[in-house]
Chains A and B, each alone.
Chain A
Amino acid sequence: MRNQKRPVFLNLLQIKLPPTAIASILHRVAGVFLILLFPFLIYMFDVSLQDKASFTQAVQLINQPLVVLLLYGLLWAISHHFFAGLRYFLIDFDVICGKQAARFSAVIVVILGLLIPVLVALGGKL
C-alpha cells in the first residue's frame, strides 16, 4: 500500500540535512564503525595481555601511522556516540524538548564529538 504520488527526492548531494539529522546519522555511522573495529580491538586486548614481548608488539602496532589514524577515528566514534547517546537520554527524560533545543543540542553534540579527538591530538596523548 505505497503512496505512489508522494514526492521522492533523493539526490544526496542536494538534500540539506538539518543538524539533528547530521547528529543522528553520525551516531549510526559511529556505532557501525565501532562494531567493525570490535574484532581488531579484542585482538589488541588479547595480544597486549599475553606477555611482555607481545605487549611491546601491541604498543609498536598502535604507533604505526595508519593505526594511529584508525585510533583517532575510534576516538571520534566513541566520543560522538557517547554525546549523541547522552542527548537521546536527555530527550527521553524531556530535558531537551522543542525544535530549538533539539537543533542546538545536536550542534553541540557534533562539536563535542570532534573536540575530544582534537584535544587528545593537541595534548599529544595518543
Chain B
Amino acid sequence: MKRIDGLGAWVWQRLSALYLAVFVIYLIGNFLNLDRFDHATWVAWVSHPVNNILMIIGFCMLVVHAWIGIKDVIMDYIHPVVVRAVVMMLFALILLLCLVWALRVVLMV
C-alpha cells in the first residue's frame, strides 16, 4: 500500500509539473505581446471558457504539485514527529483554503 502511495505521488508530481510547465508557456504566449492590458481585457481573458477551464485544472494541479513538494521538504528537514505533523497540517490547510479561494474567484468571474 505504501509503495503504491509513493508511486502515485511520484507520477502526480510529474504529471502536474508537465501541465503547469505547458500552462506557463501558454500564459507567456498570451500576455507577452499585449499592447493594452486593462480590466476589461483581463476579465474577458479569464472568463473565456477555454482559459477558465484551463485555470480550474491549473489551480488543482498547482495545489497537488505544491502539496507533494512541501511534504517532501518537510519530511526531509523536520524530524520531530509532532512538529512535522503540525507543520504538514498547517500547509495542508493553507493550500486547501487557497484552492477553494482561487476556484471561487475563477468560477465567479
A39-B98, A42-B102, A86-B21 given as contacts; is B66 within 8 A of A49 (CB)? no
Contact among B17, B21, B66 for A35, CB-based, below 8 A: B66
Interface centre among A28, A34, A38, A48 (most CB of B within 10 A): A38
Min Cβ gap A73→B in Å is 17
Residue of B nearest to A34 (CB): B66
Interface residues of A (CB under 8 A from B): 28, 31-32, 34-35, 38-39, 42, 45-46, 48-49, 51-52, 55-56, 78, 82, 85-86, 89, 92
* Known interface pairs A34-B66, A55-B39; 17 further A-B residue pairs with C-beta atoms within 8 A, sorted by A's residue number: A31-B66, A31-B69, A35-B66, A35-B69, A38-B62, A42-B98, A42-B105, A48-B39, A49-B46, A49-B105, A51-B39, A55-B38, A56-B39, A78-B24, A82-B21, A85-B21, A89-B17
